[in-house]
Amino acid sequence: MIGEAFHREARTDAAQPRRPNNIREPDSAPGGFRHLDALEAESIHIMREVVAEANRPVMLYSIGKDSAVMLHLARKAFYPSRLPFPLLHVDTTWKFRAMYALRDKVAAAGDVDLIVHRNPEAEALGINPFDHGARHTDMWKTEGLKQALDRHGFDAAFGGARRDEEKSRAKERIFSFRNTNHHWDPKRQRPELWRHYSARIAKGESMRVFPLSNWTELDVWQYIEREGIEIPQLYFAAPRPTVIRDDMLLMVDDERFRLAPGEVATIRTVRFRTLGCYPLTGAIESNAANIAEVVAETLHARTSERQGRVIDSDHAASMEQKKQEGYF
């Protein structure tokens, strides 16, 4: 794949479009300030602004690659201080085992405080992705998140969402205002100008803040490679037990996975582009077994990463609706 990329680049250089005299030939980025540096600086600026303005900020930590990048940026933003906010994992009890292992390792590192919240009602009712469909996401994630934010009185919560993921996110502000019911109103967003962010809210209201708004999936992978950030091994291809359901490749991660009569898990070499609850997260067949290969594969990706997520495909505007109800 890398060979192909070089080949294509050479061809394009030969067919370089004509340039006018009045436009300067660009050098490489001046001062070594590359696009990843610009994105990093912007994210750090956003995080510092929240910590300076909010009474009780928190960082949503979902253990995925975006959370890993966000945590890494937060450490940079406040170095040499300890993180001035806790991490919050809104647990559904259905994440991949490898995700729980990494979460516990991060918590053990000692430089972060981790809060784990599980919706007690969902726990009592035994809500699960096999029996309860959309209710699973609604109770564990949306309701669980609201409960945790209310219980601890967090008035600003960092999330790792990016604008390239989904159409409604493309329009959301970096500082996203939520009313006392955690609802988002796309028609009443505060204008965001220059680098002046307003985090002012009344009692009971809150902000969701997205420091990775302007990053793309490729940026995230390139940054993970450049910075050597630890992410779950699930992102890298390996032989894993899988079944195909509704055109999705699902991994049989533990004994709770309900196989249909006669259904057997097949070992396939797969990896994941996003991580969520394992029975709801589609894998892709891939041989990209390390970060460099994942970056190369992302360069040529033909599908968007969230395609592997059941939550988005309920209907066309499902993410927008979930966000209005308080989902991240």
Contacts of 20 (CB under 8 A, 6+ apart): none
Contact set for other proteins, span 234-263 (CB under 8 A): 247, 249
Contact set for other proteins, span 2-31 (CB under 8 A): 5, 8-9, 11-12, 15, 17-20, 22-26, 28-31
Whole-number Å distance between alpha carbons of 248 and 59: 31
Contact set for other proteins, span 31-90 (CB under 8 A): 31, 33-42, 44-45, 48-49, 51-52, 75-82
CA distances from 57 to 60, 149, 258, 275, 307 (A): 10, 10, 39, 24, 31
Q: Based on the shown chain and the rule CB under 8 A, indicate whether residue 183 belongs to the binding site for other proteins.
A: no
Contact map string, positions 96 to 125, toward other proteins, x by CB under 8 A: ------------------------------
Q: Of 62, 119, 142, 168, which one interacts with other proteins (CB under 8 A)? A: 168
Contact set for other proteins, span 298-317 (CB under 8 A): 299, 301-304, 307, 316-317
- Specify the 3-state DSSP secondary structure of 294: helix
Closest contact distance (angstroms) between CB of 134 and other proteins is 17
Q: Of 134, 186, 230, 263, which one interacts with other proteins (CB under 8 A)? A: 186
- Specify the 3-state DSSP secondary structure of 284: strand
Helices 65-78 and 217-227: crossing angle, nearest 10°?
60
Nearer to other proteins, 172 or 253 (CB): 172
Nearest to 131 by CA among 166, 94, 84, 159: 94
Nearer to other proteins, 91 or 165 (CB): 165
Q: Based on the shown chain and the rule CB under 8 A, indicate whether residue 201 belongs to the binding site for other proteins.
A: yes
**Maximum distance among all Cα pairs of the chain, rounded to whole angstroms:** 71
Q: Which stretch binds other proteins (CB under 8 A): 56-64, 94-102, 128-136, 167-175?
A: 167-175
Q: Based on the shown chain and the rule CB under 8 A, indicate whether residue 179 belongs to the binding site for other proteins.
A: no
Phi/psi region, residue 267 (left: phi>0; alpha: psi -120 to 50; beta: rest), is beta
Nearest to 69 by CA among 188, 221, 175: 221
Contact set for other proteins, span 122-161 (CB under 8 A): none
Nearer to other proteins, 50 or 139 (CB): 50
Number of amino acids touching other proteins (CB under 8 A): 87
Helices 65-78 and 35-53: crossing angle, nearest 10°?
70
